[in-house]
């Protein structure tokens, strides 16, 4: 059993074969998929898709690229959406200083406002970071003990990993770890405490090496688990089991969805 803890199968790239993609995930024993929203539209469509299958869950949030679009109305709608039984986390939210599609101060403001919602409602957070650890970590450190979650698609070094673990966050590892030149990522994958590890695809992006250049999909999370197992000299099954356990505990799946 594998869990893809970060997928965007609600978007256009999957509109023609969503059900086949889900079938392939099932055949690959990817039993659970977390569909991550990044703006209002994709948050709503994540929920809609999660309603169709027991093993799909959803998140809502505004990505830092779209931070400039955050209005009081958007926040109000997010407040409504998180009441849905399939919504198990807030995100992806964070800071992106690589593309800077919204000004830094606007990104920080949107991040803080959404962290407030997550904190007030006891929802774990999915963090997006690109070249912004210097600002993200202090913001999270200021809320230590009040928020929890995962640094999705972690690309920092071991030192940043340690700081993230100190504030109680999980480390999400995706397809990049399978790239031959991703040495820093592979070092992190070797040393991250197993009880803090999650695996993900971030599909349709960041396709693992064996399909690089093509569209990514949840079934390929198995390649991520396999690579981590190889790096840690353990079996893929062990990585599958521990990351499934971690996911269920972090997102409190049983409590949030007793039917699951
Ligand atoms: Ni993502």
Q: Is it the case that residue 74 has pLDDT exceeding 60? A: yes
Residue 7 CA to ligand 1 center (angstroms) comes to: 7
Residue 128 CA to ligand 1 center (angstroms) comes to: 7
Query: Mean pLDDT across the stretch 60-83?
Result: 96
User: For 125-162, what is each residue's pLDDT tens digit?
Assistant: 999 999 999 999 999 999 999 999 999 999 999 999 99
| Cα 250 from Cα 147, distance rounded (Å) | 11
Residue 164 CA to ligand 1 center (angstroms) comes to: 19
| Cα 196 from Cα 214, distance rounded (Å) | 29
Residue 240 CA to ligand 1 center (angstroms) comes to: 21
Residue 84 CA to ligand 1 center (angstroms) comes to: 21
| Cα 145 from Cα 119, distance rounded (Å) | 10
What local confidence, expressed as pLDDT, does residue 257 receive? 62
- Regarding pTM above 0.85, the answer is yes
Query: Mean pLDDT across the stretch 221-249?
Result: 98
What local confidence, expressed as pLDDT, does residue 45 receive? 98
Residue 234 CA to ligand 1 center (angstroms) comes to: 28
């Amino acid at each position: 059993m594998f869990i893809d803890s970060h997928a965007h199968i609600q978007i256009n790239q999957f509109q023609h074969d969503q059900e086949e993609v889900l079938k392939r995930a099932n055949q690959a024993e990817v039993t659970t998929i977390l569909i991550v929203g990044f703006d209002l539209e994709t948050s709503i469509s994540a929920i809609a898709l999660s309603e169709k299958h027991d093993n799909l869950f959803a998140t809502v949030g505004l990505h830092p690229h779209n931070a400039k679009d955050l209005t009081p109305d958007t926040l109000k709608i997010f407040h409504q959406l998180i009441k849905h039984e399939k919504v198990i986390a807030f995100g992806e939210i964070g800071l992106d200083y690589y593309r800077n599609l919204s000004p830094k101060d606007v990104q920080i403001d949107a991040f803080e406002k959404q962290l407030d919602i997550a904190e007030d409602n006891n929802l774990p957070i999915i963090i997006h970071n690109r070249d912004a650890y210097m600002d993200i970590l202090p913001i999270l450190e200021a809320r230590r003990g009040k928020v929890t979650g995962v640094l999705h698609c972690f690309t920092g070094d071991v030192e940043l990993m340690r700081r993230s673990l100190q504030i109680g966050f999980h480390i999400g590892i995706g397809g990049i770890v399978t790239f031959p030149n991703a040495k820093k990522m592979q070092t992190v994958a070797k040393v991250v405490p197993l009880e803090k590890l999650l695996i993900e695809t971030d599909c349709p992006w960041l396709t693992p090496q064996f399909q690089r250049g093509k569209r990514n999909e949840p079934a390929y999370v198995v390649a991520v688990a396999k690579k981590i197992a190889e790096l840690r000299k353990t079996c893929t099954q062990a990585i599958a089991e521990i990351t499934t356990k971690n996911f269920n505990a972090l997102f409190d799946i049983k409590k949030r969805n007793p039917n699951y």
